[in-house]
């Protein structure tokens, strides 16, 4: 039988599926597929789920400093793939823009600071597929709470592959309106053959040279009548001011207000 090249590929040549939390604004493609705010959307498979059950393999930090509030097709001014050292070798602990509590400040301020976020590398227990859950902004806090529950759980004794974690979402009031945040809960512990299988799969994934995704901007707080995303209150006021000088400004202002 002829050799099949695809069987020789490693994790570093694969795109790990990402589950994203659908918010009230944004994620239009997922919503067209039937996703509702508070649902989870798999950007690789187009799957939609109300909740997930996963086993955490690793939680990896990263930092992102956009350095601007305007919407541009440009990368962040600075970033760190480990949350410790920036891409140009600077120590993140010395950065004047460092922010370790992004959930405690509004979206406008977050885009002016170097914020901490997490990539949660998991195994989806439904199909044993590796997956990634990205958690930044208001979702950084529940990720820290998840880390605490795993690290300090005496029943686990650092055998994190045994923790079967239910991932759901809950509503939260923010300065930009209502948003959804993730909620993690250990629903049970794997034992016997299931625990052994999850341990083996976790070790394989943990040792793989995975290419984690680049930093992305957070979800917009609304859209203009033309469908352009708006990320900050400052931009929102600017758009409304511009619409105020146009023909039928009041009609358009009402339309954009509904989108925020």
Nearest-angstrom CA–CA distance, 133 and 21: 9
pLDDT of res. 68:
65
Number of domains in the chain: 2
Single pTM value for the model: 0.77
Report the percent of the chain where pLDDT is more than 90. 41
Looking at every residue in the chain, the average pLDDT score rounds to 81
Our measurement of the distance from residue 25's CA atom to the centroid of its chain's CA atoms, rounded to an integer in Å, reads 15
pLDDT digits (tens, 9 = 90+) for 143-161: 999 999 999 999 999 999 9
Nearest-angstrom CA–CA distance, 88 and 200: 36
Nearest-angstrom CA–CA distance, 115 and 76: 12
Q: What is the residue range of 198's domain?
A: 9-218
* Confidence band, pLDDT 50/70/90 cuts, at residue 221: low
Residues 105 and 230 both lie in one domain: no
Asked whether the predicted pLDDT for residue 55 surpasses 60, the reply is yes
Residues 241 and 140 both lie in one domain: no
pLDDT of res. 249:
43
Asked if residue 255 is part of any domain, the answer here is: yes
Asked if residue 3 is part of any domain, the answer here is: no
Asked if residue 113 is part of any domain, the answer here is: yes
* Confidence band, pLDDT 50/70/90 cuts, at residue 112: confident
Asked if residue 2 is part of any domain, the answer here is: no
Residues 166 and 224 both lie in one domain: no
């Amino acid at each position: 039988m002829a050799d099949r090249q695809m069987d020789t590929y490693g994790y570093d040549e694969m795109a790990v599926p990402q589950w994203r939390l659908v918010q009230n604004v944004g994620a239009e493609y997922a919503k067209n597929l039937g996703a509702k705010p508070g649902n989870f959307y798999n950007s690789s498979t187009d799957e939609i789920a109300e909740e997930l059950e996963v086993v955490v393999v690793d939680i990896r930090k990263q930092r992102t400093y956009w350095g601007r509030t305007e919407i541009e097709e440009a990368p962040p001014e600075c970033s760190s793939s480990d949350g410790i050292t920036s891409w140009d070798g600077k120590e993140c602990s010395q950065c004047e823009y460092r922010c370790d509590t992004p959930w405690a400040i509004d979206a406008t301020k977050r885009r002016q600071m170097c914020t901490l976020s997490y990539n949660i590398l998991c195994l989806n227990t439904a199909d044993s597929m590796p997956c990634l859950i990205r958690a930044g902004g208001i979702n950084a806090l529940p990720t820290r709470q998840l880390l605490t529950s795993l690290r300090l759980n005496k029943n686990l004794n650092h055998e994190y592959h045994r923790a079967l974690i239910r991932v759901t979402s809950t509503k939260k009031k923010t300065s930009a309106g209502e948003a959804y945040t993730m909620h993690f809960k250990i629903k049970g512990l794997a034992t016997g053959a299931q625990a052994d299988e999850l341990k083996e799969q976790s070790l394989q994934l943990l040792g793989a040279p995975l290419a984690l995704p680049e930093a992305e901007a957070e979800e917009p707080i609304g859209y203009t009548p033309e469908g352009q995303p708006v990320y900050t209150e400052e931009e929102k006021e600017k758009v409304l001011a511009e619409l105020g000088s146009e023909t039928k400004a009041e009609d358009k202002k009402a339309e954009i207000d509904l989108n925020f």
